[in-house]
Amino acid sequence: MTAVAAPIETSQLYIGGHWVDPHSADRLEVTNPATGELVGSVPLGDADDIDAAVRAARASFDSGVWSARPPAERAAVLRKAAQLIEERSAEICALVSAEMGATPGDVATLQQLAGTGVLNGYADASDAYDWEETRHGLFGETLVTREAVGVVGAIIAWNVPLFLICNKFGPALAAGCSVVLKPAPETPLNANLLAQLFTEAGVPEGVISVVPGGVEAGQALVDHPDVDKITFTGSTLAGKAIAARCGETLKRCSLELGGKSAAIVLDDADIAASAPMLVFTGILNSGQACVAQTRVLVPRSKKDEIVEAMTAVAASFVPGLPAEEGTTMGPIINAKQYEKVRGYIATGKAEGATAAYEMEVPEIGTGHFVGPVIFTDVTNDMTIAREEIFGPVISVIAYDDVDEAIAIANDSDYGLAGSVWTADVQRGVEIAKQVRTGTMGINWYAIDPASPFGGYKNSGIGRENGREGLESYLEHKAIILPMGYSSEQ
């Protein structure tokens, strides 16, 4: 398995396609969450560094060096970037694994495959998009055009950084925007590498910048007057603060936030066939996934049978050092998150839930590991059923009829993902239509690059992926033509 050979020490910031000296001498160290080893370090960007990056983005956007290029040319660059990522997949996946703790195999599947998929998906959406159209209305013809929103500030989380970078760069660049990316402090190294690959693919000078940093850098990006749109993936709490700041200046924003998704298992579901994916979608990425199906709703009459099947699957997971052969589950990102997850497990027991399965994990390296936990006797008013745990904890909730299952699924502050498990696909679709959530799967769950992804309620604002994701980076302009004028003349 490819591993990061030596710590990556970067002394400069990648601003506008060039390496430049940072304003501050402060450093941000990145350590492997499984071993505690130093993966590398980067400059800790501050408000001055953000300002330099935004000014580069503003100048490049206003010059038209990228925004004025034909959409087909921009789409071709996205496809080239996807190709370069695929060519260096082993190196990139090893780096991301070292930064955030997932196995390289999981990074390749959940992040690299998904990341290149959305880049190609946005290129396809751009090629199929009506960038200009003529409409006939009350006064005759109107030319409707679509233009890039401008300078985009992108702020992302640490849990799937490779995918998130692609899913921010993809639509912004396809639309013609310039982008300033603030990666999570835990995972800045892969952001620098990916930005260079996009430049190599053909993104011109000034269009892409990466400024690693903490709260100060994020606030400076959100508040900067030359940023036209903020796109954020992270916690609901942080998303609300960002939305409030954007609201004060009427800055466009799109937010992909938390989830507490429900998997509804119907009475005709194939339990043996469903159990592996049910468990996987609940604890994927060590449970550190906003789309995790952490509430499994089951018919009361089949609860014991389903829990037994899920327990057998959960027991097959192998926590361990991500780079070691046979490991299927990495650590929790850091001590703070570990304590949070353990606290939720204790709260579940204290509130009356039963841990039908709780894997005991021996000490591994210096990492903070939590094995799969499956709770039964859970009611939907319990803390573990209401709040996003961001750890490998599944709550099994029994229901008596389908209407009750739908009601339980909808009884949540979130609405990001979900699934229905049944032998009757059309029945599953009809139930899925009644669940107030942005994406649903039938007998599995995935994010499709060509289809909209986003949430209802506290799960966010706006959509990513496909035509809808591209449109969120565009302004629509109407040019009303003279009365009596015909473009067909």
Same domain flag for 138 and 214: yes
The tokens 């709490």 sit on which residue? 237
Which residues make Cβ contacts (< 8 Å) with residue 13, sequence separation at least 6? 19, 20, 21, 22, 42, 43, 45, 49, 53, 209, 210, 211, 212
Per-residue pLDDT reduced to its tens digit, 30-54: 999 999 999 999 999 999 999 999 9
For residues 196 and 50, membership in a common domain is answered with yes
Question: pLDDT tens across 134-148, in order?
Answer: 999 999 999 999 999
Instruction: Report yes or no on 454 lying in a domain.
Output: no
Q: In terms of domains, do 192 and 238 share one?
A: yes
In a domain, 483, yes or no: no
- Which residue has tokens 């993936």? 233
Domain range for 382 is 262-442
In a domain, 81, yes or no: yes
Q: Where residue 431 sits, what CATH number does that domain have?
A: 3.40.309.10
| Residue-level pLDDT at 488 | 84
Decide if 452 is inside a domain: no
Helix (H, G, I), strand (E, B) or coil at 4: coil
**203 and 326 co-located in one domain:** no
Instruction: Please say if the pLDDT value at position 382 is more than 90.
Output: yes
Is residue 425 one of the residues assigned to a domain? yes
Q: How many domains does the chain have?
A: 2
Q: What is the pLDDT of residue 1?
A: 43
Task: Write out pLDDT tens, residues 309-351.
Answer: 999 999 999 999 999 999 999 999 999 999 999 999 999 999 9
State whether 277 and 188 are in the same domain.
Answer: no
Are residues 166 and 116 both part of a single domain?
Answer: yes
Beta bridge partners of 433: none
pLDDT of residue 3: 61
Q: Is residue 2 in some structural domain?
A: no
pLDDT tier at 206, thresholds 50, 70, 90: very high
105 with 208, same domain?
A: yes
Task: Give the pLDDT score at 24.
Answer: 87
267 and 172 within one domain: no
Give Cβ neighbours of residue 457 (< 8 Å, ≥ 6 apart): 412, 413, 414, 415, 436
Q: Is the pLDDT of residue 5 over 80?
A: no
Question: What's the pTM value of the predicted model, to 2 decimals?
Answer: 0.96
Whether the pLDDT of residue 159 is over 70: the answer is: yes
Nearest 5 degrees, angle CA 417-CA 419-CA 424? 155
Please report whether residue 464 resides in a domain.
Answer: yes
Token pair 């013609």 is found at: 176
pLDDT at 234 over 60: yes
Does the structure show a pLDDT above 60 at 176? yes
pLDDT at residue 462 is higher than 80: yes
CATH number for the domain spanning 48: value is 3.40.605.10
pLDDT at 236 > cutoff 70: yes
Q: Does any domain span residue 3?
A: no
Domain match, 203 and 301 both: no
The verdict on 230 and 304 lying in the same domain is no
**Residues 226 and 285 occupy one common structural domain:** no
26 and 138 both lie in a single domain: yes
Active site amino acids: 256, 290
> pLDDT tens digit string along 244-293?
999 999 999 999 999 999 999 999 999 999 999 999 999 999 999 999 99
